[in-house]
Amino acid sequence: MRKLHLAGAAVLALGLSGMAVASQTPRNETFRMLQLFGDVLGVVEQAYVVPVDNQKLIEAALAGMMTALDPHSNYLAPDGFADLQERTSGEYSGVGLTITAEGGLVKVISPMDDSPSSRAGVQAGDVISAIDGQNASGLTVSDVSEKLRGAMGTSVTVTFLRDGEEPRDVVLTREVIKVQSVTGRAEGEFGYLRISTFNENTGRELNEAIARIRADNPAVKGFVLDLRNNGGGLLTAAIDVSDAFLERGEIVSQRGRKPDQIERYAARPGDLTGGLPLVVLINYGSASASEIVAGALKDQERATLVGLTSFGKGSVQTVIPLGGGRDGALSITTARYYTPSGSSIQKIGIEPDLEVARTEAEARIVSRSSFIYSEAAYATALDASIGAERKGAHTPREAPGPDYDEDADYQLQRALDVLRAGGDLTRLAAAPEGVVVTDTAIEVAAVESTEEE
């Protein structure tokens, strides 16, 4: 059975896993603790007030062991592993949420485009507090996923918590989520490309969307690549997307536990846009594979980044089937990834060249760091390995004022302005009336300068 590589890949010898554990603690101590686990299971089986399901207990113990490592390592029971394979293939039945767990809570990384969740107004950072009236505290990601998924046309009531607001019950009707990873359209004299997730079809769909836009408008003058609220996906898809806009150069590297565990991925000749100007839209919902693409295109000076600092997930997970998948799988963090300049963005994120909030409300979130949903918010997150930290609470450089049309996409409009300026921010037109512009200078590559010292 094949391995799934979520924003990363690694080669692991499962037969050596026991030796790896033993090398960190005395072998006898490791065996003693394993015996302790068996003793506890035996006591629970014999003494608990009602009969127990040993399989569920052991699966819960495995899940707890993995989540103690970092927020993105977890044990997938057989059903959860099958669900993951479905999602990465691009079609399943559910409500369209990308979720993660932290501190006993399940949070939304991002709602999928045109899904029941996105249409209901669910946002990145929302906490799932109850499902069909049952408390969701302490549930794993697999538990919540199982409850949210179901037959097409059935409904589920989800209670969401959002900072500063009362709990909100949302009735979501399940649909077959046919994830069209890439959509494209004309925006005047430019092309607009939206990538909602990175799955097995992303590279092909991007190629088709670019070809279609160029065929419909041979005089197209540039492209906007929208990665906002894209929670990531497959490393191979991120490499394909980056490669589509690059003629040469490194895309990403990943470094594991040992100094010699380094893998590098480079672009092949052939920019599908013919070198036309490119702007990439990001925000704090852009994570993992999205950050690989944004980091590669920024470091290779191929694109200008517009929006807000990205999520900051710079770790690599490898999905390893257990017992050929019969016993589920481990999704385990095996490496950090690095942008072409050698920057690790773990817990830091990628800062845009032009910082722009989409709405006044979004600007308020950035100005109050406790409200920002990012990798740095996880108590068990890996460190950045470079001693740098994510930029704290601040006022974004540009943000629509209270009188600005809330239905207008201000970030997209500024991205198009950057294209009209040929990517040169010094030639960028002034912000329109109704937009608040701070005196803060555009901070370009602040993280990179720290990392190169």
Domain boundaries, the chain: 91-178, 182-320+333-452
Q: Answer for the pair 47, 58: CB distance below 8 angstroms, yes or no.
A: no
Q: In sequence order, what are the beta bridge partners of 68?
A: none
Is residue 412 scored above 50 in pLDDT? Answer: yes
pLDDT of residue 6: 60
pLDDT of residue 108: 87
The span from the CA of 52 to the CA of 352, in Å, is 52
326 by Cβ neighbours in 10 Å (0-12 / 13-18 / 19+) ranks as: exposed
CA distance readout (Å), 380 to 34, 283, 287, 289, 401:
24, 22, 17, 21, 37
Instruction: List pLDDT tens digits, range 66-103.
Output: 988 998 898 988 877 777 776 665 567 889 888 877 76
Q: Which of 185, 196, 173 has its CA nearest to residue 114?
A: 196
17 a catalytic residue? no
The span from the CA of 193 to the CA of 215, in Å, is 15
What are φ and ψ of residue 194, in 5° steps? -110, 125
Second-level CATH architecture of 91-178: Roll (2.30)
Alpha helices by DSSP H, 217-336? 235-245, 289-299
The span from the CA of 127 to the CA of 130, in Å, is 9
Compute the CA torsion angle 100, 102, 104, 105 (nearest 10 deg). Answer: -50
User: Which CATH number does 182-320+333-452 carry?
Assistant: 3.90.226.10
CA distance readout (Å), 325 to 2, 76, 86, 225, 234:
10, 10, 14, 36, 19
Percent above pLDDT 90 for the chain: 53
Tokens representing 391 are 């930029």
Average pLDDT, the chain: 85
pLDDT of residue 262: 93
Instruction: List pLDDT tens digits, range 117-133.
Output: 999 999 888 999 999 99
Q: Answer for the pair 280, 227: CB distance below 8 angstroms, yes or no.
A: yes
178 a catalytic residue? no
Q: Is the pTM of this model over 0.85?
A: no
Contacts made by residues 418-426, CB under 8 angstroms, sequence distance 24+:
418/279, 418/304, 418/306, 418/354, 419/190, 419/221, 419/222, 419/223, 419/224, 419/277, 419/279, 422/277, 423/277, 423/278, 423/279, 423/303, 423/304, 425/304, 425/353, 425/354
Higher local confidence (pLDDT), 163 or 387: 163
Q: Measure the N-to-C terminal CA separation of the chain; round to a whole number of Å.
A: 44
Q: Answer for the pair 182, 211: CB distance below 8 angstroms, yes or no.
A: no
The span from the CA of 296 to the CA of 315, in Å, is 16
91-178 and 182-320+333-452 agree in CATH topology: no
Q: Answer for the pair 360, 370: CB distance below 8 angstroms, yes or no.
A: no
Catalytic residue among 298, 313, 347, 391: 313
367 a catalytic residue? no
Higher local confidence (pLDDT), 434 or 350: 350
Q: Answer for the pair 340, 252: CB distance below 8 angstroms, yes or no.
A: yes
The span from the CA of 380 to the CA of 103, in Å, is 9
Higher local confidence (pLDDT), 240 or 91: 240
Catalytic residue among 110, 286, 288, 290: 288
Q: Which of 346, 447, 355 has its CA nearest to residue 394?
A: 355
pLDDT confidence of 10, banded at 50, 70, 90? very low
In the block, residue with structure tokens 């057989």: 78
The span from the CA of 305 to the CA of 296, in Å, is 11
pLDDT confidence of 25, banded at 50, 70, 90? low
Catalytic residue among 299, 310, 344, 417: 299
> Would you give the DSSP letter of residue 344?
B
The span from the CA of 442 to the CA of 312, in Å, is 19
Q: Which of 123-137, 185-199, 231-245, 380-394 has the weakest average pLDDT?
A: 380-394
